[in-house]
Amino acid sequence: MSHGLGVAVREVGHVVDAFRAIRRPRAETDLRTLDGLRDLLAFARANVPHYAGPRYDVRLDTLADLARLPILDKAAVLDGDPGRFHAPGLIPRDYRVDRTSGTTGRVLEVRHDVAAYGYHGATVFRRFLLSGYRPWWRIAHIKPFPRPLRWFQRLGLFPRTVIGAGQGDAKILADVLKVRPHLIMGYPVVLRGLLRAASPADLARLRRTLRMVMTDSELLTDEVRDLLSGGFGAPVYDEYSAYEVLTVSTQCGRGAMHVDEDRVRLEIVGEDGAPVPDGEEGGVVVTHFRERAMPLLRYRLGDRGMIVPGECGCGNRFTRMRVTGGRSDDYVTFPGGHRVYTATFLSLAMWTPGVAESMVRQAADGTVTVHLVAEAGRDFGQVAAAYRRGLAEQVGGPVEVRFERAERVTLTPGGKGRFVESAARPGP
């Protein structure tokens, strides 16, 4: 069986179970997760070189025992031999290769076995259908690279046109208008640029067919969500994912981000690597327990988030989470040790009059430069002064920053906006 056909068969076979999974009682979901983690650890111990040592000789009697295992991150995988994380004996048709977006400046090649990818595909179907998407609706997908034509698209379902994210905003807008989409998908930074390029007449054309917007991969603040929803005149559904573990959580109609607990185990951990109580912020650690081609146990994604206590009124019983501040290494440090994270700068860009976007760069000597994309016709000096005042309010006093003009936010090779970078501390 070919790789593509194998994934297709598994996707179809898993769709019903994927929909049942979100309705299961908590006790059953936890038991299935524990069984999945035990199976993964046993497989990794027996087959994957990295996990052969005594650090992984751990008995998982409860879900809490997972915290006894070490935490991995991208640097640990890349600094060693990534091949030590590969299950032996696989041939290319047994797995699919994804590459991380390069947000951290380093690219990791990740393998996903056909079975794991097939179930993930079923959960993607679930995400779309639960949002209210109809399988015949046209999709304009703004991405930095081409996407393969899937088996269901050959049948006319989920028809998608991929539009290059590296083009100028005006060209992206023209290409989107040609599609007459029911759904626009893209990173928030690109969608904001699309709104800036669109005239009232362009937006009126879009709204004739547009039914929803889907975002992923970047931090989506409440302010940005409101901007996109109001600008496009359609609801916005977010997704939180990483190439290493695929989808982590997706948004329901009530605005909650539900963890894909039928595929992944989410932990929110403190500085010591131990899980923190629900409702407290910490580092995001994920284990994709269906993965066999390249298991990554307790993998730190580099973001900050929290588990939201309680159940959601939408009927999905999976745990809710929030990404609270973007990547945990995306911050600048001002005198006195005060850290300011991405979310603060995104909020400033949203609320400062005349600011369309901003990028913040901190040099090794601590100098902070704010690269401002000003709205058309606005005086740059006045815009920068307003931004400076807003930043002072956020950090509790004036801080020394420089301002430079920018035409557009710099994108990573994966097409994401790189809003905050600092060379004033060791990298990840």
**pLDDT reading at 70 higher than 90:** yes
Asked whether 99 and 243 are in contact (CB, 8 A), the reply is: yes
H-helix segments, 302-409? 342-351, 380-395
If you write DSSP's letter for every residue of 279-293 in order, what string do you get? T--EEEEEEETT--S
Q: How confident is the model at residue 1 (pLDDT cuts 50, 70, 90)?
A: very low
- How would you write 57-89 as a 3-class SS string? CCCCCCHHHHHHCCCECHHHHHHCCHHHHCCCC
Measured at the CA of 247, the angle between CA 221 and CA 59, to 5 degrees, comes to: 115
- The β-bridge relationship of strands 264-269 and 282-288 is antiparallel
Task: Give the pLDDT score at 62.
Answer: 98
- Tell me: the pLDDT tens digits for 102-155? 555 567 889 999 889 889 989 999 999 999 999 999 999 998 777 777 778 888
Q: Is 347 exposed, middle or buried (0-12, 13-18, 19+ CB in 10 A)?
A: middle
Task: Give the pLDDT score at 105.
Answer: 53
Q: Read off φ and ψ for residue 339, nearest 5 degrees.
A: -95, 140
Which is higher by pLDDT, 177 or 221?
A: 177
DSSP 410: P
- The β-bridge relationship of strands 355-362 and 338-341 is unpaired
Give the 3-state secondary structure of residue 305.
Answer: strand
Task: Give the pLDDT score at 2.
Answer: 47
- Tell me: the pLDDT tens digits for 335-368? 877 778 776 787 787 778 888 888 888 888 888 9
Task: Give the pLDDT score at 224.
Answer: 86
Task: Give the pLDDT score at 315.
Answer: 94
Which pair of tokens denotes residue 425?
A: 């501390």
- How would you write 204-244 as a 3-class SS string? HHHHHHCCEEEEECCCCCHHHHHHHHHHHCCCEEEEEEECC
CATH homologous superfamily for 331-422?
Answer: ANL, C-terminal domain (3.30.300.30)
End-to-end CA gap in the chain: 40
Asked whether 157 and 178 are in contact (CB, 8 A), the reply is: no
> Given 3.40.50.300, 3.10.20.600, 3.40.50.12780, 1.20.1250.20, which CATH number is that of 3-121+240-327?
3.40.50.12780
Task: Give the pLDDT score at 131.
Answer: 95
Instruction: For residues 336 and 210, give the distance between their C-alpha atoms in angstroms, rounded to a whole number.
Output: 48
Domain spans in the chain, listed from the N-terminal domain onward: 3-121+240-327, 331-422
Give the 3-state secondary structure of residue 264.
Answer: strand
Highest mean pLDDT among 268-277, 322-331, 379-388: 268-277
**Mean of the per-residue pLDDT values for the chain?**
88
- The β-bridge relationship of strands 299-308 and 320-327 is antiparallel
Which is higher by pLDDT, 39 or 400?
A: 39
Least confident of 58-72, 203-217, 413-427: 413-427
Asked whether 122 and 18 are in contact (CB, 8 A), the reply is: yes
Q: Is 77 exposed, middle or buried (0-12, 13-18, 19+ CB in 10 A)?
A: buried
Which is higher by pLDDT, 185 or 100?
A: 185
Which is higher by pLDDT, 400 or 9?
A: 400
Amino acid at 18: A
Task: Give the pLDDT score at 101.
Answer: 59
- Tell me: the pLDDT tens digits for 254-312? 999 999 999 999 999 999 999 999 999 999 999 999 999 999 999 999 888 999 999 99
Asked whether 339 and 366 are in contact (CB, 8 A), the reply is: no
Buried b (16+ CB within 10 A) or exposed e, 359-388: bbbbeeeeebebbbbbeeeeeeeebbebbb
Amino acid at 395: V
Q: How far is CA 341 from CA 81, 291, 334, 368, 422, in A?
A: 32, 32, 11, 13, 11
